[in-house]
Amino acid sequence: MATVNENYLKLKAGYLFPEIARRVNAFAQENPQAPIIKLGIGDVTEPLPEACRTAMIQAVEDMGDRASFKGYGPEQGYPWLREKIAALDFQSRGCDIDASEIFISDGSKCDTGNILDIFGDNNTIAVTDPVYPVYVDTNVMAGHTGQATESGKYEGLLYLPITAENNFTAEIPSEKVDLIYLCFPNNPTGATATKDHLKAWVDYAKAHEAIIFFDAAYEAFITDPTLPHSIYEIEGARDCAIEFRSFSKNAGFTGTRCALTVVPKTLTAKTSDGTKVELHKLWNRRQSTKFNGVSYIVQRGAEAVYSEAGQAQVKSLVSFYMENAKIICEKLTAAGLTVYGGVNAPYVWVKTPNNLSSWEFFDQLLSQVNVVGTPGSGFGAAGEGYFRISAFNSRENVEEAMRRITEKFKV
């Protein structure tokens, strides 16, 4: 009989977001007339920018002509897209990143999990707590952890608490770790990192020959000009960091699927005998073997993000969601709730009222005001007593959800 990967059996009962969907669906079936507003998952609601749609329509036409038809493209992505990303996302900010170091993919969620393919099984891994669940669960699946403890933490991972007391930015560990997951602007707390904070991490990583996995999926939502958008704005980061980015939230590609990962050619790790190996070559080999690339049509849509019209339309889209975040923060604060984030990030991190647990608050919001959010405990033990609200929805829904919540839960 075939055997299974028993690491999957270590996973907690259900991934956070499917569990939310299960509870919401059960409630909806029992209450078919309930006007449910979903501010839980970070899925966008507004249409793709016109520039992207126009480019994709033209790309479809290209596919109808033998002269311009495209079959398999480069697994790393088309050069014309990679070059625009390198120039406008990185080089314009003083980052020494070449187009050849950029890999186009179908999602940063996928890449943050797939990146483990090129790393060994004996690395010490640090994650923040709370944390985007994919970072933890993919390490469990890969066999990099022990069993989950009663608190929900997995043996073998170093958890770095991020709390209101440390402004939701993890302190540098005193011990040596090999792989470090950082996400700024942070999901779920909405916290941001200064250049000094990231420099401390880069200095630590270089001193310990560690690798930072830097998730910058929400960098477009940064409005403070003093905050870095990329870890490569920090000197030395080329030698210790891999960065993940996405078109999902800034350009509304959640259903269209396009993202990128940057693996500098100067980045190395060691074999068991101490030989240094270029990670760029390994990731290129992995992608060439396991991935056939993002479609030509989608990549043309992503390229249009960097056109003059695309830049303006994406900026407008980001501003729309950030205005939603502002409304959420202002309304909940006025109601007496304690809120964090929502300034340079599209997520608002709320302290649950009346000492309710995260899931108790979830259930009350769903049943009493028909609003869905995300329980903080689903992101880790340190998220207990908090609740994430997403700014990704229509203005009408956001305003109505805030009216319902503040009327019911005013402190």
- Cα-based distances in Å from 150 to 147, 206, 382: 10, 34, 14
> Is 246 annotated to bind ligand?
yes
> Is 66 annotated to bind ligand?
no
CA dist 141 and 9 (Å) reads: 9
> Is 23 annotated to bind ligand?
no
Amino acid identity of residue 296, one-letter, is Y
Question: How remote is the C-alpha of 374 from its chain's centroid?
Answer: 15
Spatial contact of 101 and 238, defined as CB atoms under 8 Å apart: no
To which residue do tokens 């604060």 refer?
Answer: 333
> Is 108 annotated to bind ligand?
yes
> Is 247 annotated to bind ligand?
yes
Residue 334, C-beta contacts closer than 8 angstroms, at least 6 positions apart: 406
Q: Rounded to 5 degrees, what are φ and ψ at 192? A: -125, 165
> Is 230 annotated to bind ligand?
no
CA dist 227 and 139 (Å) reads: 30
Closest CA to 392 of 167, 217, 164, 182: 217
Q: What is the DSSP letter of 154?
A: B
> Is 122 annotated to bind ligand?
no
SS3 108: helix
SS3 164: helix
> Is 285 annotated to bind ligand?
no
> Is 72 annotated to bind ligand?
yes
CA dist 96 and 393 (Å) reads: 36
363 by Cβ neighbours in 10 Å (0-12 / 13-18 / 19+) ranks as middle
> Is 7 annotated to bind ligand?
no
Query: What radius of gyration, in Å, describes the C-alpha atoms of the chain?
Result: 21
Closest CA to 336 of 401, 405, 234, 241: 405
Amino acid identity of residue 101, one-letter, is E
Q: What is the largest CA-CA distance in the chain?
A: 66
Q: Which two tokens stand for residue 192?
A: 């941001």
To which residue do tokens 């923060």 refer?
Answer: 329
CA dist 215 and 246 (Å) reads: 9
Q: Rounded to 5 degrees, what are φ and ψ at 262? A: -110, 120
> Is 248 annotated to bind ligand?
yes
> Is 152 annotated to bind ligand?
no
- Binding site, annotated residues for substrate: 15, 42, 109, 132, 187, 292, 388
- Binding site, annotated residues: 15, 42, 72, 108-109, 132, 187, 218, 246-248, 257, 292, 388
- Binding site, annotated residues for pyridoxal 5'-phosphate: 72, 108-109, 132, 187, 218, 246-248, 257, 292
